[in-house]
Structures are given as structure tokens and as C-alpha cells.
């Protein structure tokens, strides 16, 4: 775990999740997306102590446990630390079980809760809600850009050094190359967010799971690769229907087999939610239709 300088007062710590550090002054800082609970947070605290940095706040780009899971652990070490996020991120961070209800559509097995708790010890109160647009926090200006799609509360956080932390809006190049499957809560919103982020001219961009950060000359190409991958993902799902009328579970099975996805109880529900989002979008755009003539809901491609 290393602290890398990007520009001005903006730094990041590389890892499975890239964590932002913004220095308010010589000794106080803001953490952006601390990551999962456990060993990672212990190492993060040690690194902050090494550089004599005191975190005043945590900014959360979105409500997934690999980004906000370590918040409670930080609150136990830094008693006065504050937490910031969008209104939806605040809701799900404070009520983590609601994310499970969303995934399953109702009561969920304890197995799912136990699985998630490995990365998320306990909820915290997100006592500060971002305004969309310019926010002045501790005398410093941050631009908060709504980027829903990957999940409902997603935002990009832009420091006054014009460095943007985009969370999981963009898929890392490694995942684009070897997988291609995309975790999307709302297909239409995700498409809109990708188009929106293209309009900004950041000096640097930090993606949630990339192995590097991107400079001005690389950002546009990286975003376009994500746009192209999104289109490929959608077209692949359409092609997987062939000429068949398929139940939700049938489509999901074909997607899992096509992408070679690992299947377990929790992961299955993640995949299921993604496919539901894609089906809804394709129906709204007149690409898919449905049939319930045999008392079973099946989908099919119109005019294949």
C-alpha cells in the first residue's frame, strides 16, 4: 500500500479499490472510498500515521461494500470523523440490509448477510449529504457529479485540482479485456452517465478498480472503451436470445455460461439484478417483448 501524488493536494492509494486522499492542510485530510473492512483499513490507518495525516472526513462515491465497508472501522479510530455521500448512498450505507432486499426482491437468506459482512462490519451514520454541483467543505471546493447506473447513489467527486474520482462508473481495462460482463443497476442511467462524463475535461481521473490513474490524454479513450464495451454487452445479451422465448432464469443461465462467471448464492443475485435491468431497458426501447400465454413469463426479441 503506497501513497501516490497526483496533483496539488490530491493523492491516491492503490489497491483492489483505489482510495483517494485529499490534503486539507499539512496534517488534515479527506479519504475518498476507504475500501473493505478488516486488514485493508488497518493498513490504511498505519499509512496515515506514517505521513502524520488525520482524516477529518470520508467521501463515498457509492454504496457498495468494497468502497464503503471500512467506514465503521475508521469511525472507531477517529471519533470525530464525518461521512459524506449522496442521499441514496447515505440511505444504503446506514441501512445495508436494504441493499439485500433490492437484490433478492424480498426476504434474503442469512448466507447472503454473512457473505457481505466479511467486508462490512457495521453501518455508520452518513451525516452529510452532497449537493450535486459545487460543494465547499472545510474551505475547499469539490464538484459532485451524479453518475447513477452502476448503482443508484453513484457520484464522481472532483477535487479543486481537477482530479476526478469516479468510483465504479468505468470498468477497468483488465476487466474489459478478460471478462466484459458489467455490473449495472440501471442500464439507461448508466448509458446517460457515460455520455455525461465524456463532456468534462478532467486533468486526471481515478477509477475504482484500475491499476493506474489516467491523465488528460488518456481519459477520453478510456471512457470510449467503456462506451463500446457497454454496447457490446447489450448486443451480446440480445444475441443470446437467438430465436427463443426465454424465462429470466434461462437468459441468466446463458449469460453466466457465455461469460464464464463464478456462481454462488450472493453472486447469482447480483447477476440476476443486472439482467433484470437490461431486460427492462430493452423492453422500454421496443427491442424485447414478452409472452405469458402458458402462465410463464417469457421474453423474446422482436423482429430478430
Domains of the chain: 3-231 (3.60.15.10), 240-301 (1.10.10)
Looking at residue 119, its pLDDT comes to: 65
Nearest alpha carbon to residue 55 among 25, 78, 85, 83? 78
Looking at residue 173, its pLDDT comes to: 84
Low-confidence spans in the chain with pLDDT less than 50? none
Roughly how many angstroms between the first and final C-alpha of the chain, as a whole number?
50
d(CA 170, CA 206): 10
Answer positive or negative: Cα dihedral of 181, 185, 189, 190: negative
d(CA 97, CA 26): 38
CA distances, 211 to each of 6, 94, 220, 262, 269 (Å) = 14, 30, 17, 22, 27
Read off the pTM.
Answer: 0.94
Amino acid at each position: 500500500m503506497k501513497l501516490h501524488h497526483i496533483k496539488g493536494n490530491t493523492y491516491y492509494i492503490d489497491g483492489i479499490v483505489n482510495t483517494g486522499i485529499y490534503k486539507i492542510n499539512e496534517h488534515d485530510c479527506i479519504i475518498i472510498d476507504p475500501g473493505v473492512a478488516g486488514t485493508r483499513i488497518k493498513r490504511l490507518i498505519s499509512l496515515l500515521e506514517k505521513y502524520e495525516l488525520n482524516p477529518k472526513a470520508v467521501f463515498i462515491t457509492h454504496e457498495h461494500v468494497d468502497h464503503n465497508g471500512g467506514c465503521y472501522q475508521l469511525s472507531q479510530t477517529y471519533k470525530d470523523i464525518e461521512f459524506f455521500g449522496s442521499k441514496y448512498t447515505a440511505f444504503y450505507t446506514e441501512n445495508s440490509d436494504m441493499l439485500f432486499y433490492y437484490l433478492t426482491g424480498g426476504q434474503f437468506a442469512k448466507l447472503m448477510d454473512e457473505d457481505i459482512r466479511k467486508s462490512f462490519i457495521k453501518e455508520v451514520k452518513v451525516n452529510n449529504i452532497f449537493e450535486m454541483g459545487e460543494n465547499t467543505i472545510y474551505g475547499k471546493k469539490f464538484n459532485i457529479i451524479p453518475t447513477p447506473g452502476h448503482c443508484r447513489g453513484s457520484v464522481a467527486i472532483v477535487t479543486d485540482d481537477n482530479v476526478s474520482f469516479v468510483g465504479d462508473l468505468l470498468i477497468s481495462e483488465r476487466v474489459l479485456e478478460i471478462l466484459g460482463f458489467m455490473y449495472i443497476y440501471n442500464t439507461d442511467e448508466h448509458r446517460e452517465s457515460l455520455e455525461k462524463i465524456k463532456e468534462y475535461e478532467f486533468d486526471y481521473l481515478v477509477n475504482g478498480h484500475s491499476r493506474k490513474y489516467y491523465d488528460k490524454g488518456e481519459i477520453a479513450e478510456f471512457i470510449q472503451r467503456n462506451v463500446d464495451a457497454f454496447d457490446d454487452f447489450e448486443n451480446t445479451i440480445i444475441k443470446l436470445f437467438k430465436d427463443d422465448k426465454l424465462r429470466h432464469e434461462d437468459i441468466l443461465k446463458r449469460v453466466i455460461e457465455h461469460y464464464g462467471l463464478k456462481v454462488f448464492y450472493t453472486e447469482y443475485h447480483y447477476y440476476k439484478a443486472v439482467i433484470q435491468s437490461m431486460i427492462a431497458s430493452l423492453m422500454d426501447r421496443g427491442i424485447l417483448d414478452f409472452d405469458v400465454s402458458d402462465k410463464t413469463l417469457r421474453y423474446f426479441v422482436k423482429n430478430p
